[in-house]
């Protein structure tokens, strides 16, 4: 009886240990230049394209959207001091909340767009800080402090992405789990006999 309990507990532990870790954004580095979108390199200029390519050889990155900070009295500036720019998706899918010290939070929901968030660039002064999100999520949130990476005020945040991750259908996952537990049960009975 105790052997059976230990086997089940060990199986449950291994099943949970196999789940992927989710760390959020990973800081790649701070680079000179600009990250503005342009008409080449999948919608990116050479500065940011070269850094992404050097980081992991990724050539299938698309410019998703950008949120510029602006003066409220400028023509296209919204009341919150932001001017969103659309890329492959609508900039309205990203929301930015930030204080006067350039510490903030971004929420995003890319469900149904066919894209997942892969890279984020914080542009300040004549540099940009580049981040990578290895999980390529459709929905999420991240916090930032520009002063940690660049000694200047934030100009804009740009979002880059790739194909949305494919989901494992729940019925398939359930059958796999049932088959695995059944196999453990069968192996336990066979040893006892």
The pLDDT tens digits for 21-54 are 445 788 888 888 777 654 444 445 555 656 666 5
Using DSSP bridges, classify how beta strands 154-163 and 94-98 pair: parallel, antiparallel or unpaired.
unpaired
Span 175-188, pLDDT tens digits: 777 888 888 887 87
**Alpha carbon distance 184, 182 (integer Å):** 5
pTM: 0.68
Domain ranges, ordered by start, for the chain: 2-12+170-192, 23-163
Question: 65, 90 in Cβ contact below 8 A?
Answer: yes
């Amino acid at each position: 009886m105790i052997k059976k309990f230990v086997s089940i507990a060990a199986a449950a532990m291994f099943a949970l240990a196999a789940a992927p870790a989710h760390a959020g954004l990973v800081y790649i580095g701070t680079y000179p230049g600009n990250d503005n979108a342009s008409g080449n390199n999948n919608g990116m200029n050479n500065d940011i394209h070269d850094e992404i390519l050097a980081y992991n050889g990724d050539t299938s990155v698309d410019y998703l959207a950008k949120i510029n900070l602006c003066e409220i009295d400028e023509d296209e500036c919204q009341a919150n001091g932001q001017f969103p720019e659309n890329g492959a998706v609508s900039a309205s899918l990203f929301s930015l909340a930030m204080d006067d010290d350039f510490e903030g939070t971004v929420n995003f929901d890319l469900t149904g767009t066919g894209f997942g968030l892969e890279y984020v660039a914080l542009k300040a002064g004549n540099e940009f800080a580049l981040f990578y999100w290895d999980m390529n999520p459709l929905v999420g949130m991240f916090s930032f402090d520009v002063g940690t990476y660049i000694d200047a005020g934030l100009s804009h945040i740009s979002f880059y992405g790739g194909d949305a991750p494919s989901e494992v259908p729940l019925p398939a996952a359930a059958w796999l789990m049932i088959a695995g537990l059944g196999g453990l049960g069968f192996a336990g009975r066979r040893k006892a006999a």
